A and B are shown apart, each in its own frame.
Chain A
Amino acid sequence: MKRYSFLELAKNAFSAHQNWGRQWRAPEPKAEYDVVIVGAGGHGLATAYYLAKEHGIRNIAVLEKGWLGGGNTGRNTTIVRSNYLWEESAALYNHAIGLWQNLSQELNYNVMYSARGVMMLAHTVHDVQVAQRHIHANRLAGVQNEWLTPEQAKEYCPPLNISKNIRYPVMGAALQRVGGTARHDGVAWGYARGADDLGVDIIQNCAVTGIRRSADGAVEGVETAKGFIKAKKVGVVAAGHTSVVMDMAGVRLPLESFPLQALVSEPVKPAFPCVVMSNTIHAYISQSDKGELVIGAGTDQFVSYAQAGGIHITNHTIDAICELFPHFRRMRMLRNWGGIVDTTPDRSPILSKTPVQGLYVNCGWGTGGFKATPGSGHVFAHTIAKDEPHPINAPFTIERFRTGRLIDEAAAAAVAH
């Protein structure tokens, strides 16, 4: 692999960039692999990369029904943070943060991880209590998170409206300075290039149509658009389509796939320095390096694979954005799109072995999987290679729904009283 650097860029400028090699190959599938990963999103590619790099397994294929990075990886609002409440979650996401901080250098691909800070707003007394609980729990767990008064929040994010006269005034915010954004495509491509360099075959336009199991129930391989591919182990990392793929192996999961929308404005000069999220009034926003305001909307209420949601969801999101940032009212929406998010009952992912020998699943990231990409791939690779979970993902089983040992991030922020 030719290393990327400014020098290399300058050198290539003299040859009119005619000599850049492929970032990844377009191989035909071999008859057999040690590991087949289903789904070439960020998580799947990262899994393959770490399998090859850290576990010495080089005979790997990543199968993708479309184009790599084309699912939720290329459709999310690129937020990175780790200030989750439960120690299990915080450990998982913080593991990812650790990897994010070095990822551009590790992959020799600029993923543009930008620790510009993620600020989560509190609008009610209950919000404040929940935020404080997170901050205290995070401090003990060694996860960065701090409380800001409304004035401090405004100082950190000048466009924020902290007037007392809005419907839900800002009562403060939890700030994770190490949180921020990263370039989603860069992450997928960086891992793809890195994995490819280690010998991983990334096979695009190759939908998996079946999972073949032997008489004793273990995985034998996958049926695909390009024929049967034998595999000792199969890791399914298919996001919104996980239920569909796992159904091929007869494994039922506690998942529902909902449409999730996001949108960007037209690009403007720097207007927004950080990431702001508000769970109470349902909005999250940042500004991309290109200048677009990147805004996340909510999910529709019904299962759908259409990658499109209703306009009332968008309306509601922009209501909230304009309430918090009233001068963005004259900005204009450039593009709106949808993804399919696979959601578990406790809003935490499943990163686990399955009842089927040799079959592993990484799913259920709901609306927040991007931030975990490196960590998820890293521990999932461990799980596949060792046939046992890494300590960090050990709690994220399918089994927890049976035993009741949930990791319920949503419940912890539940509103009642």
Chain B
Amino acid sequence: MLLIYCPYCDVERAETEFHCGGEAHIARPSDPSQTSEEEWVEFLYMRSNTKGVAAERWRHIHGCGRFFNAVRDTVSDKFLKFYKAGETMPDLEKISKEAGK
């Protein structure tokens, strides 16, 4: 039962209030008709599945309902950063280093 911070509500809440939306920063192509098969399968299915520090999406379903992003170490399950949807992806390597990884 993770403890998750919602950057919109500015509160920490138990994981059961949230839904994980998987890997973050996978944008749907703006014009899918122009994508190649490879680009489309990349968008649909291919995932980094990172062992270590990775950005992922969460939605505060039983709270404000908003999507936001989190950086988490998938080995320790520790959260290293939370940020709002739409904000640019943080420098994961830097966060990794700061966390002593």
Contact = CB atoms under 8 A, between A and B. Distances in A.
Contacts of A70: none
B33 interface: no
A345 B2 CA distance: 25
B41 A305 contact: no
Nearest to A406: B45
Contact of B74 (A305, A310, A311): A305
Given A252-B46, A256-B47, A310-B15, A303 B41 contact: no
B1 interface: yes
B93 interface: no
A302 B1 CA distance: 11
User: At the interface, is chain B mostly helix, strand, loop or mixed?
Assistant: mixed
Contacts of A306: 74-77
A308 B49 CA distance: 17
B1 A257 contact: no
Question: Could you say which interface size class chain B belongs to?
Answer: 20 to 34
Contacts of B44: 345, 401
Contacts of A243: 47-51
A243 B48 CA distance: 7
Contacts of B45: 254, 345, 401
Given A302-B72, A305-B51, A402 B37 contact: yes
Contacts of B46: 252-254
A401 B74 contact: no
Interface of A: 241, 243-244, 247, 252-257, 301-306, 308, 310-312, 342, 345, 401-402
24 contacts: A243-B47, A243-B48, A252-B46, A252-B48, A254-B46, A254-B47, A255-B47, A255-B49, A256-B22, A256-B47, A257-B51, A302-B20, A302-B72, A304-B77, A305-B74, A306-B75, A306-B77, A310-B2, A342-B49, A345-B45, A401-B41, A401-B45, A402-B37, A402-B38
